[in-house]
Every structure is written in structure tokens, then in C-alpha cells.
Chains A and B, each alone.
Chain A
């Protein structure tokens, strides 16, 4: 395996992503909405103007939950399927490169493009808040949120690539990606609430159920970063705090990393075994 080849492919992937109009649209939307959220964050407190970092971080969680998974799932789903549809993937595979180099190069390039988008969105918002807002109250929470958002984007990128590896057409892959996005978002709140009420799911199981959704895991970690407790999530949050205590954050981080690794490995396994180029 050659790191040089991986970096060459990553560089091309990054270039392609930054020219992708959907990607640019998502980025612009993310920047605009994060600025708007920052501005409105203090509205509840009756103060007009830009909120401090901590409060803004809290308000940005919901924005991240909506836009980042959509962005990452879309670019991931388009990636392999789009290249296979245009036959550029088979031409690339006919070169002296291995499939693992192609996969890692694509993953790295897309991850960097997502990081660029996040940095732009959070960065502009952060600079504006720092210059014109209520002061740098809790910048650490803000930085941690950026890091967590990046991890969330990687989970969705892995899922998107998994979809892409099993699909021959980019449009189908993106369609499945959008469906999964709806499922994750819906399952994150309304679905889980409804299931818990209808089936009277025990609290312990409800918490375990929430681990099956990376968006929920991200949300719990982000809340822990801001206020060190999950009281706001109700009984399930209280149960998790009592059961896992200080180890809760590590547990959630482990689950998030598993969500990055497992779909990613499955996507690669599919690409490696694929035999119909």
C-alpha cells in the first residue's frame, strides 16, 4: 500500500468535492444557518445580538444534526457509484493502484472536504461571535462541537460509502442515502419517542436503542460537552449518567468510532470483492 497514491487520489477527491454544486450548496446553507442560529441563540434570554460560544454551541447541535449527515451521506453515496456509472472507476482500477489505495484515498479526500466545510461554517460563525458577541465565554465547548460534528460526518460518510459500494447508479445511491438520512433523523427523536411510549420500552433498553443511531450518540456527547450531564434528555439520560458515570463519554465515543469503522470496512470489503467492472 502506498501512502503517496492514497494522497494523490485524496487530493483529486477533495478537488472534485469542492467543485460539486450540491456540496457547495450544503456548505453555504450550513454557514448561513449557523450564523443565523448564533444570532438567535440569545433570543430566548431576551438579549438581541450574537450569543456566546457555549450557548451558540448548544443551538448549533440541532443544525449539525440536520445538515451534516445530509451532506456526508450525499457525497459518500455519490462517490463510488458515480464513478462506476461513468466507468471512470474501472479505468482507475486498471492502473497500477490497489483497491485499498483507491478506497482510502477517496475516504480521506471526502473527509477533508467535509472538514473544510465544517471549518468554514463554524469558523465564520465563531469569528463573527468573537468579534461582535457577548465574549468568548466557553470556546472549548465550541471547538469540541466542531470535533464531534466532524466525527458525526465521518459516520455518515462511511454509511454513504457503504451504500455507494452496493449500488451501480449515483442517483439510486443518493436516493437510498436520503432515505437513510430521514430514517436517522426521524428515528432519532419522534421514532424513538413513539416506540418507547407504544411498546413501554424499559429505560435501559431505550438507552441501548439510542446507541444504534449515530445522531443520538452525537447529541448525547455534545450535550455532555456543554453541561456535563444528560438531565435534559429525561429518564434515559439520567439512567445513562447513573449507570456509566464518568465512563459514559468514552462509551459514546467508542460507539461513534464503531459507526465510522464498521460501515467503512464493509464498504471496502464490498469494493474489494466486486467483480463486475
Chain B
């Protein structure tokens, strides 16, 4: 459905994307993962025709470099930095893009409701919160009901509550059968939305893996901080060390336990099985 073939993008002597090849299958959600500067956004901009490039990008067999407009008709795009006409009302904005995408203006009202912005139609876009703007961006991307959604760091500017709400919305969109290509450096986003992950570094593809395997492939670990009675600490350390965990006492008031990502509850379970009472815990 979406194929990148030896994509290379250079800015002068700097190579932002280096020989990137991958495919996104229909109804699949593929994440581009990597730190800032890994080339994620550059690859997306090449797909959208905002940057020239070497190599080839195909969308349902169409060459993105030669048939940019037809390709973009199949894409719904949510940018990293929201760039809207702030003085326009939410409805005017949606209607403007509906007309550009040649869909009925009634569809504008539909997507506004779909992304939970009903009641905010007359509000200037500039007066919407960050989360609302992000939902509006998703609504605009869905206007023409395109088969493919392209999301560039879709939750990077949202607080925790807005992020959760937006991810739930994206989950619904994915369940409706959309193909999704998105960039992210947030693990929870990848785990929630992604089927496969392409890990980029310095513009090159490092490896591809199923989304659920990403933490292990990256060797990601977490620290579980446990608070318990001082008298119970020696016994707790014995139990954890016997279970194969690295744990250290924390100022006589608790423990710090190093755990692989995805196994954060297991040491708590071990302590509980050993009848060691845990007063509180937190995860770093």
C-alpha cells in the first residue's frame, strides 16, 4: 500500500535519511521510532511532497514524486506542529479543507462531532486548547475518509489527559480499518497504536520489529521504587536477589529494583508471595 524504496534525503553534506526502504501493508499501523534528528519527520515530508528526495515512494502504485496530488488525496496528515489559520472558526476551517478535498461541507460538521469538538464550531481555532487543536487536525485528516493516515509525533505537545484521549481516538480510527504511518518517540504511543516499528538512527534503518518487542529490543529498563518497613528490607533483598533482580536499599526506607520494561509488577508479586508487606511503590 505504501512503499519507500531506497529513500535518501540530503541537506547539503548532511544526510537526513539514508537509503530507507520499507513497506506498510493495508490496515497496518507502522511506527517510525527514533530520537530527534533520526530522520522520521524528513521521511514523512518526502512522502507529502514537501521535500525533494532520491529514491522512490509509492502509494498504491502511484509515484509520489510524479503524482503528488493524487497521492496526497489518499493521505490524511496530522502535523507535529499545528499550523492553522487561528482567526478562522473551527467550522470555517473544516469547511475550507473539506472544499479543498472536494468533499461536501456537511462532512465538516460530521468530523467535528467525530473528534469530540461539537459545541466548539464557532470558536476561533486560536482559542482551542492544544488537545482540541490536535483533535481538529485529526478531524481534518479524516475529512475525505482517506485510506492512509500519516501522523507526525501526534501527541508530542499534549498533556497526559489530552494524550490519553487522543490515543483512544486514534485507536478507534485504527479499528475502523485505516492504514497508519506515524512517527513517535513515546513508548506508550507505539504500544497502543503500532503493529510494527521501524527503528531509525542517524537517518538509517536500524531494525524492524513487532511493536510489543520494541522495549526488549531496545533493552529498555525501568526502576521500581518500593517503600516498606526497615525491618523487612534484608528479607526483601534476599527474595529479589534469589529472583534474579538487582535491588538496592534506599536510605533504610525502601528499595530500588531494576526491572526489564514490561515486567514491572513481577518483583512486587515475588515480595507479596514471600509475605513481605509493601506500603507503597512508584515507577521511574
Return A115 CB to nearest CB of chain B, in Å. 22
- Inside 8 A of B81's CB, which chain A residues have their CB? 87
Q: Is the CB of A95 within 8 A of B72?
A: yes
- Inside 8 A of B48's CB, which chain A residues have their CB? 93-94
Q: Is the CB of B87 within 8 A of A93?
A: no
Q: Is the CB of B100 within 8 A of A95?
A: yes
Return A270 CB to nearest CB of chain B, in Å. 14
Among B49-57, B181-189, B213-221, the stretch that binds chain A is: B49-57
Q: Which of A9, A19, A94, A276 contacts B77 (CB 8 A)?
A: A94
Return A215 CB to nearest CB of chain B, in Å. 33
Contact (A98, B101) CB under 8 Å given A88-B83, A90-B50, A277-B45: no
Check if B69 is an interface residue, CB within 8 A of chain A.
Answer: yes
Q: Which residue of B lies closest to A9 (CB)?
A: B100
Contact (A88, B97) CB under 8 Å given A4-B102, A277-B51: no
The interface on chain A, measured as residues whose beta carbon lies within 8 A of the other chain's beta carbons, has a size of 21
Give Cα A97 to B51, complex, Å: 15
Check if B281 is an interface residue, CB within 8 A of chain A.
Answer: no
- Inside 8 A of B144's CB, which chain A residues have their CB? 96
Give Cα A86 to B79, complex, Å: 13
- Inside 8 A of A93's CB, which chain B residues have their CB? 48-50
Give Cα A275 to B100, complex, Å: 22
- Inside 8 A of B52's CB, which chain A residues have their CB? 275
A9, A94, A276 interface centre (most CB from chain B within 10 Å): A94
Contact (A8, B51) CB under 8 Å given A90-B83, A91-B83: no
Interface residues of B in 66-91 (CB under 8 A from A): 68-70, 72-73, 75, 77, 79, 81, 83-85, 87
Check if A243 is an interface residue, CB within 8 A of chain B.
Answer: no
- Inside 8 A of B100's CB, which chain A residues have their CB? 5, 8-9, 95-97
0/1 interface trace, chain B 93-127, chain A, CB 8 Å (1 if under): 00011011110000000000000000000000000
0/1 interface trace, chain A 1-23, chain B, CB 8 Å (1 if under): 00011001100100010010000
Give Cα A86 to B68, complex, Å: 23
Interface residues of A (CB under 8 A from B): 4-5, 8-9, 12, 16, 19, 86-88, 90-91, 93-98, 275-277
Interface residues of B (CB under 8 A from A): 45, 48-52, 68-70, 72-73, 75, 77, 79, 81, 83-85, 87, 96-97, 99-102, 144
Could you list some 21 contacts between A and B, CB below 8 A? Answer: A5-B100, A8-B96, A9-B100, A90-B83, A93-B48, A93-B49, A94-B50, A94-B72, A95-B72, A95-B101, A96-B73, A96-B100, A96-B101, A97-B69, A97-B100, A98-B68, A275-B51, A275-B52, A276-B51, A277-B50, A277-B51
Q: Which 8 A-B pairs have the closest CB atoms?
A: A87-B83, A96-B73, A277-B50, A96-B72, A94-B48, A91-B83, A94-B77, A88-B83
